[in-house]
């Protein structure tokens, strides 16, 4: 693979992410990692469900009394939209339109950062209410589950930003196309996890 | 970047191994460090047997005994058996499928160094305030009550080495999916490659629950969380579930590659095609699949209820079916074969009755009501040593003899090998067979001593005597390794004379690019087919001789693992009031980890090319020394 | 090995066709996104409207499941060529995930 090989939209392959052996390897390997992540999050969800509303006697907060849906709704919409914008970025990647791809990735990053900001605000709010990490088994399970997702968002954002800066000058080639593709897969996976978090943690939490 | 071997100084050799991404060198690293931990675990085992040699012994204190049994189990499973099997997978599997390297050479190196630093971290506990003492299963109610930092060494150390194993698993899976030589269809893959594939899939899906469980334990003990703290609403059964959802597939992660090694040995030394290859493959997949549905048989006495116990008891018994299929296939491979009793073959033949004994006691324990009687007795100890030693360790010893020439280019002495075998094999049965009866007589496991009036003296003494024989066997093996290395008699491509698969078609040890030309595979037992057709080259080629692309070495995996190692010390002392520097250490370690990760991702690493001219030069030089 | 890629320049017609196909696919993605937003709205509305718990829980879990399928098969292209192994391992992962959750909500000894 020649990193200096220049492509035009007409010579750019249909599936640049799997056009090289390195790309294919990364592609399969990353999906396998996502399979492992599925089990990781399942373990976290399972623990959360087992420990939901469990705490010492006289525990102040339970799920029904704590979560507020408007904020969660906003966060959900933002993350869902960022999933779509990363689809747009990959659409332009396949069209070999580097500028448009960068622009859509930029929007994705802004949306992701907003989501993360709201999550930090939410956690901070709960802690001020007196619902801290060490309060109860429920609080520990909640913070670790949602916090692990938040850490994934942070990692995904850093990944996008690093890729965008590193490749800003040199455009798309066979070496970085798989990287962009995998970062966007990761982003979709984060969204998949969030779908379950807002359903299982927040919606099912509010109804008790 | 010439491929010509040069004599290097000691420092340069060390540096070479620290930066290598070559799967064969990483295999050697796994073998050496796994072997080292095997000896450590062996010494711990001997201490246990000395303590139990007579009634009321005070050789070890009760607390120290707890630490030793915990570390013996943990070391043998995570730091000895698995890495040594990973060594064989690394050394042999890419050769068997005709690949030049694994899919992710960089990650391969990272996986090794994570395992290595995790193992070192775990064992540093001996010198830093006491080892973990809650048993290798580390049940939460016991672990949370344990004082000192022993348990924290366990959780953090296993987290690090667990990441390494997960990475290795993904790497092998992708290698097998993507990098098979032309013509190497899935149903032409050698059995060892197949078992590597299934074991790696189990690693992929079984390690995440362990990692999550370990993180819960870390948070509980070091950061004030309440997952298992019952008075705060926590639930200790969660740990047991997460541990065994991992723990049961783990024993298949160990035994499947062992099955793979034995399958190779039976075919090679019976000079016959494996009987029922297809059945063996499907039995392997089936065992992997069932492996995830039986974990609660470790928890029959917890009180999950009769329904759960019945379901898991049935599922457990079903697993005996594919395992039985395998046993019969091996027997029928030997049947009518032209057998040569080399050291690996002796191990393989001895493995069948030993492992079947372990399997049968396993089915006994699957009967939940009986398990209430056997639980936590020496019967259990006897059972799992029969499967792990009678299956995995015999495979490791057999594999060491079988693959030593391929990895190092010289043959271990057959004569000493047979001595090792007889000492080890007799010692093994002497040690563990009698423990079945100790268990039935009521002797509980994990208790540091017993009374003279309990009638267990003689059987325990016999058991300890057996352990001495096993130790002698291992020592002879070490002597064998040293003598073989000093003699250094080089061997050719196919030192056993009857190799069937691709790894025996290339030099021992192979050149660092493995195959100058990618082979074309025409069927199962590729090399055997070519030999039978009188092909002197041992293979036919899928491509003309041309430039080969190879990955660059890198020190970054080492540095990343070091970063995690350092960060772990920060986490370990995080809540200690008298160690304010802990947070700083945690942050510095994390910075090293993420900094080197970033460096890796920002710096282009395109590898290098070996030119055709260099390959021709190499072929003329008849190079056999891979170092 | 296949490290070097062969540059293949497409004819104008092929190029136009591929581009059009991608544009069509993108329209499909937009529709998928609209469905996902719609499903999310239903889920939140049901909870806000205060229906019976026994009605809400299965429905919102089903909606979540549909969203995940949409993400995997449309946004992440899991139905595409060369995704056979990928799908196999994802479903294995989901299977292990399912029994893990099942075990921890049923047999944890409460």
CA B549/CA B513 separation, integer angstroms? 9
Structure tokens given for B429: 């049965």
Q: Are C71 and C87 contained in the same domain?
A: no
Neighbours of B311 (CB within 10 A): 16
Which CATH number fits the domain that encloses residue B256?
A: 1.20.210.10
- The answer on C72 and C42 residing in a single domain is yes
Interface residue C7 vs chain B (CB under 8 A): no
Distance between CA atoms of residues C105 and C110, nearest Å: 10
* C40 and C88 fall within a common domain: no
pLDDT given at position A171: 87
Sort residue C109 into left (φ over 0), alpha (ψ -120 to 50) or beta: left
| Nearest alpha-carbon partner for A166 in B343, B468, B601 | B601
Check residue C2 and give its pLDDT: 44
Q: Which residues of C touch B237 (CB under 8 A)?
A: 108-109
Classify residue A32: in a domain, yes or no.
yes
Q: B238 vs A144: CB contact, 8 Å cut-off? A: no
B626 confidence band (pLDDT: 50, 70, 90):
very low
Give residues 20 to 79 of C whose Cβ lies within 8 Å of A: 22, 25-26, 29-30, 33, 36-37, 40, 43-44, 47-48, 53, 56-57, 60-61, 63-64, 67-68, 71-72, 75-76
In terms of residue numbers, what domain contains C109? Answer: 81-110
Q: What's the CATH number where A27 sits? A: 1.20.120.80
**Average pLDDT estimate for A23-47:** 96
Percentage of the residues of chain B whose pLDDT score is greater than 70: 98
Over 70: is that where the pLDDT of A102 sits?
Answer: yes
Tell me B225's DSSP state. Answer: -
> What mean pLDDT do residues C21-47 have?
94
At B5 the pLDDT is: 47
The burial class, CB within 10 Å (0-12 / 13-18 / 19+), for B486 is exposed
Q: Which of B380-394, B458-472, C78-92 has the lowest mean pLDDT?
A: C78-92
CA atoms within 13 A on the CB side of B361: 27
Say if B609 falls within a structural domain: yes
Structure tokens at A167: 């490749």
ipTM for the assembly: 0.95
pLDDT tens digit sequence for B266-303:
999 999 999 999 999 999 999 999 999 999 999 999 98
Query: How many CA atoms does the CB half-sphere of B419 hold within 13 Å?
Result: 14
Supply the DSSP symbol for A12.
S
Q: Report the alpha-carbon distance of residue B501 to residue A1 in Å, rounded.
A: 31
β-bridge pairing B540-541 and B519-520: antiparallel
Per-residue model confidence as pLDDT tens digits over C64-89: 999 999 999 999 988 888 899 999 99
List the domain range (segments joined by +) for residue B441. 30-554+605-621
> Residue B471 pLDDT more than 90?
yes
Assigned domain for C56 exists = yes
Q: How many CB atoms lie within 10 A of CB C85?
A: 16
User: CB distance A56–B178 less than 8 Å?
Assistant: no
- Token digits of residue C61: 């879990």
Instruction: Give how far the C-alpha of residue B512 lies from the chain's centroid of Cα atoms, to the nearest Å.
Output: 24
DSSP structural state of residue B490: B
As a whole number, the mean pLDDT across chain A is 93
Q: How many CA atoms lie within 13 A of B385 on its CB side?
A: 22
**Residue B560 falls inside a structural domain:** no
- The pLDDT score that the predictor gives to residue B290 is 93
**C13-34 average pLDDT score:** 91
- Is C93 in the same domain as C106? yes
The alpha carbon of B494 is separated from its chain's Cα centroid by a whole number of angstroms, namely 25
pLDDT per residue as tens digits for the range B334-382: 999 999 999 999 999 999 999 999 999 999 999 999 999 999 999 999 9
Rounded distance, CA B49 to CA B459, Å? Answer: 12
Give the separation between CA A180 and CA A176, rounded to whole angstroms: 6
Closest Cβ–Cβ partner in C18, C56, C92 for A14:
C18
Lowest mean per-residue pLDDT among B478-482, B533-537, B575-579: B575-579
- Mean pLDDT for chain B? 93
Count of domains for chain B: 1
Is residue C33, in this structure, part of any structural domain at all?
yes
Burial of B579 (0-12, 13-18, 19+ CB in 10 A): middle
Q: Percent of chain B having pLDDT more than 90?
A: 88
Distance in Å, alpha carbon of A62 to nearest chain B alpha carbon = 12
So what's the pLDDT on residue B625?
39
- The answer to whether residues C35 and C86 belong to one domain is no
Same domain for C63 and C11, yes or no, is: yes
- Is C49 contained in some domain? yes
The H or E element spanning position B550 is strand B548-550
Whole-angstrom Cα distance, residue B151 to residue B128?
12
User: Quick check: B2 pLDDT over 60?
Assistant: no
3-state SS assignment for residue B181: coil
Is A168 at the interface with chain B, CB within 8 A?
A: no
Residue A49 forms contact with C (CB below 8 Å): yes
For residue B20, is it within any domain?
no
Residues C72 and C85 in one domain: no
State how far the Cα of B19 lies from the Cα of B26, in Å rounded to an integer.
10
pLDDT at B317 over 50: yes
What residue in A sits closest to C102 (Cα-Cα)? A46
Record the tokens describing residue A147, joined without a space.
């916090």
For residues C66 and C87, membership in a common domain is answered with: no
B12 CA to centre of own chain: 29
> CB–CB of B23/B109 below 8 Å?
no
- For residues B604 and B217, give the distance between their C-alpha atoms in angstroms, rounded to a whole number: 38
A127, part of any domain: yes
Distances from the Cα of C82 to the Cαs of A86, A179, B9, B198, C86, in angstroms? Answer: 22, 18, 47, 20, 8
The structural domain count of chain A equals 1
B7 — pLDDT class (breaks 50, 70, 90): low
Residue A147 lies in a domain: yes
Query: What is the average per-residue pLDDT within B581-601?
Result: 93
The number of domains in chain C is 2
- A12 lies in a domain? no
Residue A117 lies in a domain: yes
How confident is the model over B18-44, as a mean pLDDT?
Answer: 96
With a cut of 50, say whether residue C1 has pLDDT above it. Answer: no
Give pLDDT, residue B339.
95
Query: Is residue B593 included in any domain, yes or no?
Result: no
Residue C52 lies in a domain: yes
For B505-564, what is each residue's pLDDT tens digit?
Answer: 999 999 999 999 999 999 999 999 999 999 888 889 998 998 898 899 999 999 999 999
What confidence tens digit (pLDDT) does each residue in B118-158 have? Answer: 999 999 999 998 999 999 999 999 999 998 899 999 999 99
Q: Vertex A17, ends A12 and A22: CA angle to 5°?
A: 115
pLDDT at A62 over 90: no
Q: Is the pLDDT of residue B492 over 60?
A: yes
Please indicate, yes or no, if residue C1 is contained in any of the structural domains. no
Is C39 a member of any domain?
yes
- From B260, B253, B277, select the one nearest B195 (Cα to Cα): B260
**DSSP for A84-99?**
HHHHHHHHHHHTT-HH
A10 within a domain of the structure (yes/no) = no
The verdict on residue C2 lying in a domain is no
- Position B627 scores a pLDDT of 36
């Amino acid at each position: 693979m020649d990193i200096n090989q220049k492509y035009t939209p007409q010579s750019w392959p249909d599936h640049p992410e799997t056009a090289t052996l390195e790309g294919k390897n990364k592609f399969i390997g990353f999906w396998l990692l996502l399979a492992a992540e599925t089990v990781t999050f399942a373990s976290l969800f399972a623990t959360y469900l087992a420990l939901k509303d469990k705490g010492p006697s006289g525990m102040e907060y339970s799920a029904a009394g704590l979560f507020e849906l408007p904020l969660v709704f906003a966060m959900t919409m933002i993350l869902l939209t960022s999933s779509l914008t990363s689809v747009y970025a990959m659409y332009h990647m396949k069209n070999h339109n580097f500028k448009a791809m960068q622009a859509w990735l930029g929007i994705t990053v802004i949306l992701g950062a907003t989501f993360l900001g709201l999550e930090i605000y939410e956690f901070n709010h709960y802690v001020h209410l007196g619902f801290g990490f060490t309060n109860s088994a429920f609080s520990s399970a909640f913070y670790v589950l949602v916090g692990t997702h938040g850490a994934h968002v942070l990692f995904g954002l850093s990944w996008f930003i690093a890729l965008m800066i590193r490749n800003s000058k040199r455009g798309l080639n066979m070496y970085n196309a798989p990287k962009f593709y995998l970062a966007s897969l990761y982003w979709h996976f984060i969204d998949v996890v969030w779908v379950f978090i807002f359903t299982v943690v927040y919606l099912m939490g509010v109804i008790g | 970047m010439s491929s010509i071997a040069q004599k290097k100084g000691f420092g340069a050799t060390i540096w070479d191994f620290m930066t290598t991404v070559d799967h064969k060198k990483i295999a050697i690293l796994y073998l050496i460090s796994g072997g080292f931990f095997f000896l450590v675990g062996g010494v711990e085992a001997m201490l246990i047997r000395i303590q139990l040699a007579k009634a009321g012994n005070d050789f070890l204190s009760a607390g120290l005994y707890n630490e030793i049994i915990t570390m013996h189990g943990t070391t043998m499973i995570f730091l000895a058996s698995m890495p040594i099997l990973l060594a064989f997978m690394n050394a042999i599997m890419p050769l068997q499928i005709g690949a030049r390297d694994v899919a992710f050479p960089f990650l391969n190196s990272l996986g090794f160094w994570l395992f290595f630093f995790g193992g070192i971290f775990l064992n540093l506990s001996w010198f830093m305030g006491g080892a973990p003492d809650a048993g290798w299963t580390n049940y939460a109610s016991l672990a949370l009550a344990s004082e000192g930092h022993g348990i924290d060494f366990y959780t953090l150390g296993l987290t690090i080495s667990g990441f390494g194993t997960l990475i290795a698993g993904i790497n092998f899976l992708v290698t097998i999916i993507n990098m098979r030589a032309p013509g190497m269809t899935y149903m032409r893959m050698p059995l060892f490659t197949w078992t590597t594939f299934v074991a790696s899939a189990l690693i992929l899906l079984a390690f995440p629950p362990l990692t999550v469980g370990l993180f819960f334990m870390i948070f509980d003990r070091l950061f004030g969380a309440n997952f298992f703290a019952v008075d705060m609403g926590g639930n200790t059964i969660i740990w047991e579930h997460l541990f065994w959802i991992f723990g049961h597939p783990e024993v298949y992660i160990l035994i499947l590659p062992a099955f793979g090694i034995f399958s190779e040995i039976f075919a090679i030394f019976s000079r016959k095609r494996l009987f029922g290859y297809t059945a063996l493959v499907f039995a392997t997949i089936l065992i992997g699949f069932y492996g995830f549905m039986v974990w609660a048989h470790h928890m029959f006495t917890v009180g999950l209820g009769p329904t759960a116990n019945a379901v898991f008891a049935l599922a457990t018994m079903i697993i005996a079916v594919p395992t039985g299929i395998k046993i019969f296939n091996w027997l029928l491979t030997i049947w009518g074969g032209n057998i040569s009793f080399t050291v690996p073959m002796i191990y393989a033949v001895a493995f069948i009755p030993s492992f079947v004994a372990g399997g049968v006691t396993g089915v006994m324990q699957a009967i939940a009501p009986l398990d209430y009687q056997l639980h936590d007795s020496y019967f259990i100890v006897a059972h799992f040593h029969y499967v792990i030693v009678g299956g995995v360790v015999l495979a490791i010893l057999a594999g060491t003899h079988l693959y030593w020439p391929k990895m190092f280019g010289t043959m271990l002495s057959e004569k000493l090998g047979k001595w090792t075998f007889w000492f080890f094999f007799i010692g093994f049965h002497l040690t563990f067979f009698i423990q079945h009866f100790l268990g039935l007589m009521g002797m509980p496991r994990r208790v540091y001593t017993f009374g003279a009036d309990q009638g267990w003296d003689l059987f325990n003494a016999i058991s300890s005597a057996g352990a001495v024989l096993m130790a002698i066997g291992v020592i002879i093996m070490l002597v064998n390794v040293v003598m073989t290395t000093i003699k250094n008699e080089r061997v050719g491509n196919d030192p056993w004379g009857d190799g069937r698969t691709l790894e025996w078609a290339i030099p021992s040890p192979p050149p660092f690019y493995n195959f100058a030309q990618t082979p074309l595979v025409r069927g199962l037992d590729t090399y055997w087919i070519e030999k039978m057709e009188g092909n002197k080259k041992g293979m036919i080629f899928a491509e003309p001789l041309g430039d080969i692309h190879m990955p660059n070495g890198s020190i970054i995996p080492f540095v990343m693992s070091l970063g995690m190692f350092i960060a772990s010390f920060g986490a370990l002392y995080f809540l200690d009031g008298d160690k304010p520097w802990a947070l700083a250490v945690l942050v510095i370690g994390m910075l090293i980890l993420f900094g080197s990760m970033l460096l890796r991702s920002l710096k282009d690493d395109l590898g290098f090319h070996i030119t055709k001219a260099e390959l021709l030069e190499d072929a003329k030089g008849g190079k056999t020394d891979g170092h | 090995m296949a490290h070097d890629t062969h540059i293949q320049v497409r004819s104008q017609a092929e190029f136009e066709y591929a581009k059009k196909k991608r544009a069509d696919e993108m329209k499909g993605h937009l529709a998928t996104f609209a469905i996902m937003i719609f499903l999310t709205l239903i889920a939140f509305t049901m909870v806000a409207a205060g229906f019976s718990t026994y009605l809400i829980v299965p429905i919102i879990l089903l909606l979540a499941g549909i969203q995940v399928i949409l993400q995997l098969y449309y946004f992440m292209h899991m139905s595409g060529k060369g995704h056979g192994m990928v799908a196999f391992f994802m479903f294995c992962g989901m299977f292990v995930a399912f029994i893990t959750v099942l075990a921890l909500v049923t047999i944890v000894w409460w």
